[in-house]
Amino acid sequence: MHRSAFVSKKNHLALAIALNVLNNPAAVSGTLVREQATVRPGHVEEQWTLHDGSLLTVEPGGRTQSIRSEGSTVLLTGAQVRSNLGDGLFLIGSEANVTDSNIYSNNGTGLNVGPRSTAAVHDSQIVGLGRGVNAALGGIVALHNTSVRGMDDGNDGIMGGGVGVVQVEGDVQLRDNTDVVGDKHGVLIVADPGESSVSNLYVEGSHVRGIDGSAIKVAAPRSTGIPHANIEISNGTTLTAGNGVILEVTNGATADMTVMNSVLQGDIHIGDGSTASVTLGSQALLAGATHHLTRMNLRSDSLWTLTRNSTVKSLAMGGGRIDLGGSKGDLRELRVDTLEGHGTFGIGTDLAAGMGDRVVVSGEARGSHHLAVTNTGADVAKGQPPLEVINTGGGDALFDVIGGQVDLGTYVYDLQKQGNDWFLVQRPGEVVAPGTRSVLGLFSAAPTVWYGEASTLRSRMGELRMGSGEGGVWSRAYGNRYDVSAGGGFDYQQTQQGVSMGADGALALDSGRMLLGVTGGYSRSDLDLAAGTTGSVDSYYLGLYGTWLADDGYYIDALMKLNRFQNEADVSMSDGQRSAGNYNNHGVGVSGEVGKRFELDDGVFVSPFAQVSALWVQGEKYSLDNGMQARSNKADSLLGKVGTQVGQTHQIDSGGRFDYYAKAALAHEFAENNQVKVNGNRFSNDLSGSRAELGIGAAVQLSDRLQLHTDLEYAKGRNMEQPWGLSLGARYDF
């Protein structure tokens, strides 16, 4: 049978000493009464009993058997204490200082600190059968960087099975990376028989583990009084439990636990008739469930992540956050009797089932609270009623959603109070979510990308008409800005920059000249889709072009260009999370222009023209990593344009030439059947409508072969405005 945690009468002490001698006649005993003794290396191992102010010192390398001290002092430095009968070190009204020592008992408690006793242990190891360390009836134990092990003694009762630390109205401090392990429980807090008691446990930067049981258990066996435990966990402490319960309070016991600057994983279980409160302070994180917890307080910078459904009678939020953390097939519910304060609740959803995490307040809810609803690209199931996320029995609590909205699939949802409860309801007008904006923006970007690139080629052919008509090599750098409204009821901005280059050669004809060329290039278009959502299109292209210049001023230009578009979306959802997706597709476009150049006096010329362009862009499907599904049938364009160009040529004294011009045109986009499906919802996604275009440009002939160019353009229409388009180029004639 396990020895009692404390001795209260002198006859108990005399009986214990007698039993020690009878059961271990080979042991050598040393008794001190108001005396001092020192154990050094090589001394015979003895059992020591100290009385009435005695002092036992064990120096480095010294070895003893069990030590029992009443009203005395024990100093262990680099010592070995091994007991085959009874406790390793037992203190009553005594003081012990232990450094760099081993205390071991295979038949009792390793370190037993009884009434009016204190023990300070540094850098040591303590092992006991049944209990590693016992602190009873006012005993105080401070462990620093020390390992404690309570071995299984075969006792299935609440006090047995192997406990790292037992407290019976005693105080224990675990500091500086102390490691406490019990084969059953890590720490067990109970009461003295017939009395109620208070025990204090402080764990700082240390570790407590129950191999088969709870990390910390507070219990009231039937034969004892009611224990109350004050528990403080801080500074990187960990609690580990074989049964998954880091704090267990049963049999009518009570406990208050405060956690600061620590990450705890495990459940908190409060039995019937017991009460307990948990306070998560600054930088405290708890991942686990609670069962019948009396009160939970969450301070600022604290986080509780539920791993299962949980119950709390009173929940007080002081700026902390509770993540219910549910997802498809694993939704969670937090049930509380009352709610007060201010804090944040993280809510997960399973939209396919029309369900989500819920906070249920059976009584009154008070305070002001935020909901961080997990945004998703998947749509709410068709025909599902509004999704309830908060259910209350009344009160004046106010709830809102972080980000001002919730992105659930294609559309935006708002938090709406209905009676005493709060629901997620789709915003009227079918306002699209950021993920939808990114899909529509990317699928509509190809035509503006293609035309931005093609404008440099038209400028090149204009150079040929103003110049000598000889072939050469050329290059142009360009940039364009577009403000687009292509569908879905939202606008976005597209900024393009790129470079084109090419080479062409001239063919002489009876009534004019013909030039044929090849071109290639690259452009990047960045899309600003509002609220941190962006997209990009990297375009690589090759093309053939040609122009026929008649002697009487007529001309015909032709272009065919093949593109590969590499598209990426980076979505910022309203809850602050990000999502991404990408796809590649191809396009082919052709353009033809006819016009005539009229030469007037003083080098002035007028050149009316008509142009038709057509673009076919491959449809594609892709998905965002938030579950949104997107599909485009095409992104085609059929653009007609009429306009005129007016300019003047000046000869330079050095033999060069300076040309400048202005352009005005009216363009109309005829394609109006481009469609995009987002999660099966259909959107029109074209740029149909008319727009006006204006432009100015200049060229300077620096020599017979080298010419520099610049152009500036502006356009405005129903679905698109081009605030600016700029290109700079050079050509070198053969």
User: What's the whole-model pTM score?
Assistant: 0.79
Three-class DSSP category at 462? helix
Rounded to whole angstroms, the Cα distance separating 102 from 404 reads 61
Q: Which of 70-84, 102-116, 161-175, 215-229 has the lowest mean pLDDT?
A: 215-229
Mean pLDDT of the 288-311 span: 95
* pLDDT of residue 8 exceeding 50: no
DSSP 380: P
Rounded to whole angstroms, the Cα distance separating 61 from 44 reads 12
Three-class DSSP category at 264? strand
**Cβ-contact 305, 285 below 8 angstroms:** yes
Mean pLDDT of the 109-132 span: 97
**Cβ-contact 107, 131 below 8 angstroms:** no
Rounded to whole angstroms, the Cα distance separating 441 from 463 reads 34
Q: Which of 12-26, 309-323, 507-521, 592-606 has the lowest mean pLDDT?
A: 12-26
Confidence of residue 21 (pLDDT cuts 50, 70, 90): very low
Rounded to whole angstroms, the Cα distance separating 247 from 240 reads 10
Rounded to whole angstroms, the Cα distance separating 446 from 456 reads 16
Rounded to whole angstroms, the Cα distance separating 172 from 175 reads 10
pLDDT at 148: 98
pLDDT at 477: 94
pLDDT at 383: 73
Rounded to whole angstroms, the Cα distance separating 556 from 214 reads 87
* Residues forming beta bridges with residue 268, ordered by sequence position: 247, 290
* Residues forming beta bridges with residue 118, ordered by sequence position: 95, 140
Planar angle of CA 378, 379, 384, nearest 5 degrees: 140
- Write out pLDDT tens, residues 601-641: 888 999 999 999 999 999 888 898 888 998 988 888 999 99
Rounded to whole angstroms, the Cα distance separating 611 from 693 reads 13
How much is the mean pLDDT over the chain?
89
Rounded to whole angstroms, the Cα distance separating 527 from 572 reads 13
pLDDT at 732: 87
Rounded to whole angstroms, the Cα distance separating 150 from 166 reads 10
**Cβ-contact 77, 39 below 8 angstroms:** no
**Cβ-contact 328, 350 below 8 angstroms:** yes
Residues counted in the chain: 734
Q: Write out the DSSP string of 164-177.
A: EEEEES-EEEEESS
Among residues 110, 101, 112, 164, the alpha carbon closest in space to that of 137 is found at 112
pLDDT greater at residue 195 or residue 229: 229
Rounded to whole angstroms, the Cα distance separating 189 from 198 reads 9
Confidence of residue 646 (pLDDT cuts 50, 70, 90): very high
pLDDT at 493: 94
Instruction: Quote the radius of gyration of the chain (alpha carbons, Å).
Output: 42
Mean pLDDT of the 533-561 span: 92
Confidence of residue 444 (pLDDT cuts 50, 70, 90): confident
Among residues 390, 376, 463, the alpha carbon closest in space to that of 424 is found at 390
pLDDT at 442: 87
Residues 6+ apart with CB under 8 A from 458: 557, 559, 591, 593
DSSP 432: B
Mean pLDDT of the 368-376 span: 90
Please report which helix (H) or strand (E) contains residue 471, including its range.
none
Mean pLDDT of the 633-650 span: 91
Residues 6+ apart with CB under 8 A from 482: 448, 452, 493, 494, 495, 496, 720, 721, 722
Q: Which of 172-181, 277-286, 447-456 has the lowest mean pLDDT?
A: 447-456
Rounded to whole angstroms, the Cα distance separating 424 from 411 reads 12
Rounded to whole angstroms, the Cα distance separating 279 from 477 reads 63
Confidence of residue 28 (pLDDT cuts 50, 70, 90): low
**Cβ-contact 147, 182 below 8 angstroms:** no
Mean pLDDT of the 317-321 span: 95
Rounded to whole angstroms, the Cα distance separating 102 from 125 reads 5
* pLDDT of residue 307 exceeding 60: yes
**Cβ-contact 188, 219 below 8 angstroms:** yes
